[in-house]
Amino acid sequence: MSTDITYAQELDKEDELNEFRHEFYQSPERLYFDGNSLGLLSKRAEQAVNTIMESWKQYGIDGWTEGEHPWFYLSEKLGRMSAHLVGAQPKEVIITGSTTTNLHQLTASFFQPNGKKTKILADELNFPSDIYALKSQLQLKGLHPEEHLIQVKSRNGHTLETSDIIEAMTDEIALVVLPGVLYRSGQILDMKTITKEAHKRGIIIGFDLCHSIGSIPHQLNDWDVDFAFWCTYKHLNGGPGSVGGLFVHQKHFGNHPGLAGWFSSNKEKQFDMEHSLTAASDAGAYQIGTPHLLSAAPLLGSLSMFEEAGIGKIRKKSLLLTEYLMNLIDTELIDHGFTIANPRDQAIRGGHVYLEHPEAARICKALKANRVIPDFRNPNGIRLAPVALYNTFEEVWKMVNILKSIMENQSYKHFENKRGVIA
């Protein structure tokens, strides 16, 4: 592989998704590689918010049933637009809540300790909020988290072995909750195999797709996954605090939600105002409160781009970008103490590259001082996410060369090796 910028420029000329880059607001003076934390604003997302605002202005309360996007049905519409990204039937997906709210809802609905089966299986590498929620749910059931939450150990601190997960599925496990992609290392778990093994043992299983949706293809329905949940502000570019999403396999339709609420209702019955809930007969039953319209609106625009681009093409370019980035790191930064801690194997590598370095915090600060936006993960991790819809190969080349200059000049030493309030 050539390390010359002309090679990157040639790759950009061959990029079949290049047209989508111009859909996003970008500063020509900034290189943005933090799309796995917060995706960039697109013109379509901005317009979608304006459209919902206009319907509020024009219709007032009648906006619930009138206009281009009636609010009463918006969560379901966005669910249908998201279904192809997770390999689901349209009615199996609803856009609602937040990552943690949806995990609470799904755990309350599917964690039914009985007899020996009183434990939840998770992992030690998952994002903290998932663990907080699972511990809370155990406590609500009168179970001690230290005893009833089992966390699969990592052999190397970065990845999980499928065999270790399966071995931990004892006859005491009632529920398994795992990430689809590990947030640090970007490892893709073998969701199909893990689900199959959980069901062999009579265990319900769900996945956190925050770092996989919009980045890799899924086949949740075919894999027979019981449930899943995710945020929409990372690869889906829904904006800060945008509404989350959840999937419930159709085999569970008709079950009562663990946390019932106003929008859990069958829409034909909702305004009958009965005090006995008639739950929706699809994933809509797992909604709780009124949709957050202005936080859901950007998805009308951003999801339309995913429909047009196709997750297959997005995944193809993502793999090329991360492969190119790792090759440049291997050749240009080999003498500067970086370790690539994400999987090299394309089959299990998600949408970002994870570097480790003892000076990671101050290196990230130096990058930002040079108008490069990375993501620091305590204590020594640097995540770099070249996003298929808006990053280019030339940007990857520029970023690596800026990083090389920072290391050669030791300009990172001008900064404290300590994270900021938000890392």
Residue 271 per-residue DSSP state: G
The answer to whether the CB of 153 falls within 8 A of the CB of 183 is no
Q: Binding site annotation covers 127?
A: yes
The answer to whether the CB of 215 falls within 8 A of the CB of 188 is no
Strands (DSSP E) along 180-326, which ranges?
A: 204-208, 227-230, 245-248
Q: Binding site annotation covers 171?
A: no
Q: Binding site annotation covers 222?
A: no
The answer to whether the CB of 220 falls within 8 A of the CB of 213 is no
Q: Binding site annotation covers 162?
A: no
Q: Binding site annotation covers 290?
A: yes
Q: Binding site annotation covers 129?
A: yes
Complete DSSP assignment for 341-394 = -S--SGGGB-S-EEEE-TTHHHHHHHHHHTTEE-EEETTTEEEEB--TTT--HH
Residue 175: is it exposed, middle or buried by C-beta count within 10 angstroms (0-12/13-18/19+)? buried
Token pair of 100 as six digits: 């943690």
Q: Binding site annotation covers 322?
A: no
Q: Binding site annotation covers 130?
A: yes
Q: For residue 96, give Cα distances in angstroms to 77, 195, 228.
A: 11, 24, 13
Q: Binding site annotation covers 217?
A: no
Instruction: Measure the CA–CA gap between 267 and 367, rounded to whole angstroms.
Output: 50
Bridge partners, residue 24, by sequence: 42
The 3-state DSSP class for residue 167 equals: helix
Q: Enumerate the known binding-site residues for pyridoxal 5'-phosphate.
A: 99-100, 127-130, 208, 211, 233, 262, 290
Q: Enumerate the known binding-site residues.
A: 99-100, 127-130, 208, 211, 233, 262, 290
